[in-house]
């Protein structure tokens, strides 16, 4: 934090933010929409009925994995641009200094498209899919499990329960996703810093060889710290929206 602040001032912390903000609505709609509909298909009960007849954890897991799998393709280009911008550490353009490679998210998207073709925008998408499919299953299992545990039979969970269960669901999901998150980000930066990986497995093997197994825990603390508030609010919004419009 101190280094980012000294080198790039407060603005450094907001690098690559506009794209995730624009994408979050789309990505979460796909995730929660697919999850709810998959659960509806599997259990043939609506959201309201599910309080009285809770679905099995297997169904929750499968519906979460389906949501995770499909949202990964919507997330991939936005996430790629975020990672490319976050890894660009030059200070903001000053007169006389060389211009940074990407001037902003739109410029970054256009440059990737020109330099690497439309498929370039999906670089790292496979690693992202591997990261998100099982860990979003874990996400919904943790959430539903905790809500069930702390809610009297047949009732809706209270706001406090939703906030805490959502927060822990985020942590459980991020803790399990961090190893593949490290690999995903490396694949997205592939070729830019001279390293070229032959695939996800090659990236894993060479990262472990060079840095040891600890490499899989990079960013674990920051991911978990961020996960609690973000997912507490996400699930509270989800529950409220379903109650109003469900």
Interacting residues with ligand M3L (CB under 6 A): 131-132, 135-136, 139, 170, 173-174, 177, 227, 230-231
- For residue 167, with 0-12 CB atoms within 10 Å meaning exposed, 13-18 middle and 19 or more buried, which class applies? buried
Q: State which residue, 25 or 213, has the beta carbon closest to ligand M3L.
A: 25
Nearest to 80 by CA among 127, 33, 114: 127
Residue 154 beta carbon to ligand M3L: minimum distance, rounded to whole angstroms: 28
Residue 52 beta carbon to ligand M3L: minimum distance, rounded to whole angstroms: 28
Residue 100 beta carbon to ligand M3L: minimum distance, rounded to whole angstroms: 26
Say how far residue 84 (Cα) sits from the centre of its chain.
16
> Cβ-closest residue to ligand M3L?
177
Nearest to 126 by CA among 188, 178, 82: 188
- For residue 75, with 0-12 CB atoms within 10 Å meaning exposed, 13-18 middle and 19 or more buried, which class applies? buried
Q: State which residue, 168 or 197, has the beta carbon closest to ligand M3L.
A: 168
Q: CB–CB of 141/61 below 8 Å?
A: yes
Q: State which residue, 22 or 52, has the beta carbon closest to ligand M3L.
A: 22
Residue 178 beta carbon to ligand M3L: minimum distance, rounded to whole angstroms: 8
* Widest Cα–Cα separation across the chain: 67
Q: State which residue, 79 or 89, has the beta carbon closest to ligand M3L.
A: 79
């Amino acid at each position: 934090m101190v280094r980012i602040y000294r080198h790039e001032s407060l603005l450094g912390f907001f690098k690559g933010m506009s794209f995730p903000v624009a994408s979050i609505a789309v990505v979460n709609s796909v995730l929660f929409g697919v999850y709810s509909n998959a659960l509806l298909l599997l259990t043939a009960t609506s959201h309201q009925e599910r309080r009285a007849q809770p679905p099995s954890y297997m169904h929750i897991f499968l519906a979460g994995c389906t949501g995770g799998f499909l949202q990964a393709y919507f997330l991939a280009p936005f996430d790629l641009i975020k990672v490319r911008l976050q890894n660009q550490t030059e200070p903001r353009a000053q007169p006389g200094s060389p211009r940074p490679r990407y001037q902003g998210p739109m410029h970054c998207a256009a440059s990737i498209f020109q330099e690497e073709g439309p498929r370039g925008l999906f670089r790292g998408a496979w690693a992202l899919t591997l990261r998100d499919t099982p860990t979003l299953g874990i996400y919904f299992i943790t959430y539903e499990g905790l809500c069930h545990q702390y809610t009297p039979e047949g009732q809706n969970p209270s706001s406090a329960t939703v906030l805490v269960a959502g927060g822990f669901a985020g942590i459980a999901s991020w803790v399990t996703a961090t190893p593949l998150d490290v690999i995903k980000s490396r694949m997205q930066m592939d070729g830019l810093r001279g390293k070229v990986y032959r695939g996800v497995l090659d990236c894993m093997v060479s990262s472990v060889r060079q840095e040891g197994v600890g490499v899989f825990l990079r960013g674990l603390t920051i991911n978990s710290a961020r996960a609690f508030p973000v997912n507490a609010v996400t699930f509270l919004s989800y529950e409220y929206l379903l109650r109003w419009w469900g």
